[in-house]
Chain A
Amino acid sequence: MKKDSKELGKLIAGKLRAQLQAEGPDCPGVETLAAYVDQTLTRGERESLQPHLALCARCQEQVGELLRLSEAEEPAKVLVLGPAPGRRITWFRWAWAAPALVALVVAGLWYTGEFHPLLKQQEPTVLQAPPAPEPSKAPEEFKYAQAPTSPAGRKEVGKVQPEKKARQDVISALAPGPPKPSVAYARRAQGATATGATAENFAAPAPGAIAPPSERARLLAPAPPPARDQSAPATQEDRLAARAEVPPPAAEATPQATREKAGQQATAAVGGTASKEPETLGFLTRGVAAKKAIAPSPAGHWRVGRHGLIQKAEANGNWVTQASGVNADLFDITFATPSVGWAVGQAGALLRTIDGGKTWNKVPIPTRADLILVTASGDLTAQVVTRDGQTLATTDGGKSWNTPSHD
């Protein structure tokens, strides 16, 4: 029977082909066929198109070719822990996540020292609020968290705990709250080229200094409240919130100024107007498409975006696009040195440059998950974080990758 069906199928194919016309005078336009494939035609348009398509060989071939080309572009199916961007999460899927989130938040608060008596006894210098908020004055904690500008200085940094920081970033990003600035944007404000996640924050920490709370507080900080008494914050949380309120330093004062401010100041300094792109937190959260991320770095100001977009800010304030060679959405970019930089994005997209961003080369990585974060500490050393919280590290410029071990 199956063989009969196959033979009948051949006969059908032959007869259909014989009935097809090579092409007709009323062939639809290219855009109509493209819209047909994209399914953006109305029902009436599709129904009116079908009789022609049923008899036109050329239009059928074009439709078939468009489908094949679009299928060739789709990445291979990979196991992604979590829903694809844009998918709606139904409520019952979050039912199991709610207690898990609560447990994570509690664990995080414990770790930050909220419940730790020993840590509460000390007032780390890094958490002290500045005496008076002056927009042009760089607060102590920004200078403290400032990454050394030379790779050599970075080597003096203390032990790296990138995977913890990376997971905390992901946890913080998942925590509910009001809209916050971009995580990568905020993280860069603390130290754009931090080794691992925020190695500089951990670097030679003062006794009792707590870098993770600074990061988490920044992320969880609400919109700046009215001016408060900075001289005597009541609680540690107030100090954290107070520090979060301090505006970023001027771009010329600290290389690790916040992205938005640095970009605007750099642009204003040369009299240009920067492209205004919305900066929103959320590109690390599930279900949200990639947004651009701006990174002040040793190689200047860079940003990445959708469809493989990589741009560098020029002195006149314009953003110049660099060829990335990929079409995947890019989520993060960093430069360890003026020459060596990394960019990461959708479905394992990983790019590296060794000429200051003029050319970007794809780097193989043993994962097809979305890479949402990248940090680098040297020419050959970098770490990436996937959307599901996995961290991968390389010490040979991307030739091999491993999972950093817990210390």
Chain B
Amino acid sequence: MASQTFDEFFVQHRTRLEALYRASGAARWSVSLEDFARVAWQGILRAATAEPGQIPQLLGTLRVEDLGLALGCAQGNERAWDTFCSAYREVLYEAARGIVHEEAQARELADSLLTELYGVDSSEAVRSSRFTYFHGRSSLKTWLRAVLYQKFVNEYRRQSRLVPLPDNPDDTSTTPGSVSEKDDRRYDACLSEAVEGCLRNLPPAEKLLLSYYYVQQLTLKQIGRLSGEHEATISRHLEALRKKLRKRIEGYLRSEKKLSAYEIDRCLDFDSRGVTVELDRALKPE
């Protein structure tokens, strides 16, 4: 299906756009209906091209008040800027503190973004505000936080959540009671391969759930917020996923590695083996 042009979109959805424009209060900031509609169109263009029938629904998801304010700021309306500052300056400072954890640096980060949002550029005659990248698909607050974090990652040193484990060869020694070091290494390799293979074959949604929980170390509540589910539901999903993964690992060890039931139990019996050998290498950053 050929993609719609802006003019076609504007004519076809004018009534809805006018209602959204009124609801946004963009007129307070001297933003015209056409400007508002054009930015809304840019915001939903990609999704609308893929699913043209979803345009009314997409328009309904727009945060029109935030969009109106952002447009007013982008166009240089001072009252809009005053309103934005009074409502969001503290949000930026708090977010910066949450990212940087150091007051002076946080202030500097937030102030730098405020400058970009205001659009001050001494080298160009035309004001160019970062607000032009906001199209109302998300709340202005979340967007500001995302932009702030991206700015931090781009401009400051990257903060890795991975803490390198100390290189301590003593930790890799086998614990008393293991059969032999050679068997342990064999079991480790089998298990590592099984886990890697099973994870690779997981559907994206399940892999993402495991990543959020184990890699990003998000809480159940935080994960639930992404999917709109209660944390108890997420907990059940995770538990079911762990059980499913374990069964698949056992199946992989049985079918691919030809291990017996006893050997599979030994593979998964972490207490009696020096599993930390593999984990040390696996958890270090690339």
Contact = CB atoms under 8 A, between A and B. Distances in A.
Given A12-B245, A30-B133, A61-B161, A38 B138 contact: yes
Interface in B42-61: 43, 47, 50-51, 54, 57-58, 61
A13 interface: yes
Contacts of B261: none
Nearest to B150: A30
B90 A66 contact: no
A323 B87 CA distance: 9
Given A15-B195, A308-B86, A40 B204 contact: no
B139 interface: yes
Interface stretch (A42-50, A188-196, A364-372): A42-50
Interface in B112-126: none
A321 to B, nearest CB: 4
Nearest to B149: A65
Given A4-B270, A13-B215, A16-B210, A275 B28 contact: yes
A10 B133 CA distance: 39
B212 interface: yes
Contacts of B90: 308, 325-327
B82 to A, nearest CB: 5
Contact of A72 (B28, B98, B286): B98
B199 A34 contact: no
Interface in B145-186: 145-147, 149-150, 153, 161-162
A326 B88 CA distance: 9
B149 A34 contact: no
Given A34-B138, A38-B139, A10 B283 contact: yes
Interface string B202-233: 00110110111011111001100110100000
A7 B199 contact: no
B214 A30 contact: no
Given A16-B211, A42-B47, A44-B54, A66 B146 contact: yes
A64 B87 contact: no
Interface in A1-44: 3-5, 7-20, 22, 29-42, 44
Contacts of A63: 212, 216, 226
Given A34-B143, A321-B85, A42 B54 contact: yes
B83 interface: yes
Contact of B150 (A4, A38, A62): A62
Contacts of B135: 31
B137 interface: yes
A324 interface: yes
B282 A18 contact: yes
B22 to A, nearest CB: 12
A20 B211 contact: yes
Contacts of A70: 141-142, 145, 225
Given A4-B268, A17-B283, A72-B98, A54 B207 contact: yes
B142 A66 contact: yes
Interface residues of B, number: 77
Contacts of B161: 61
Contact of A3 (B43, B58, B270, B286): B270
A60 interface: yes
Nearest to A13: B214
B87 A34 contact: no
B246 interface: yes
Contacts of B226: 36-37, 39, 63, 67
Interface string B188-209: 0001100110011000110110
Contact of A308 (B58, B61, B87, B278): B87
Contacts of A167: none
Interface in B29-69: 43, 47, 50-51, 54, 57-58, 61, 63
A76 interface: no
A73 interface: yes
A370 B234 CA distance: 32
B273 to A, nearest CB: 10
A53 B143 contact: no
A123 B270 CA distance: 90
B201 to A, nearest CB: 11
Contacts of B26: none
Nearest to A57: B215
A32 B137 contact: yes
Contacts of B279: 10-11, 14
A14 B228 CA distance: 27
A208 to B, nearest CB: 47
B94 A72 contact: yes
Contacts of B63: 40
Given A7-B275, A16-B214, A40-B61, A34 B145 contact: yes
A37 B142 contact: yes
A7 B269 CA distance: 9
Given A62-B146, A324-B86, A325-B90, A8 B242 contact: yes
A152 interface: no
A323 B85 CA distance: 8
A37 B94 CA distance: 18
Contacts of A294: none
Interface of A: 3-5, 7-20, 22, 29-42, 44-45, 48, 50-51, 53-55, 57-58, 60-73, 275, 306-310, 318, 320-327
Given A8-B195, A308-B87, A323-B89, 16 more contacts: A11-B278, A17-B283, A18-B282, A29-B133, A38-B138, A39-B228, A41-B47, A42-B47, A44-B51, A50-B208, A54-B211, A60-B215, A63-B212, A66-B145, A70-B141, A324-B86
15 contacts: A3-B270, A8-B242, A9-B214, A9-B242, A14-B283, A30-B150, A36-B226, A38-B139, A44-B47, A62-B153, A64-B216, A66-B142, A66-B145, A324-B86, A325-B90
Closest 9 CB pairs of A and B: A14-B282, A34-B138, A13-B214, A7-B270, A64-B216, A35-B138, A307-B87, A54-B204, A35-B137
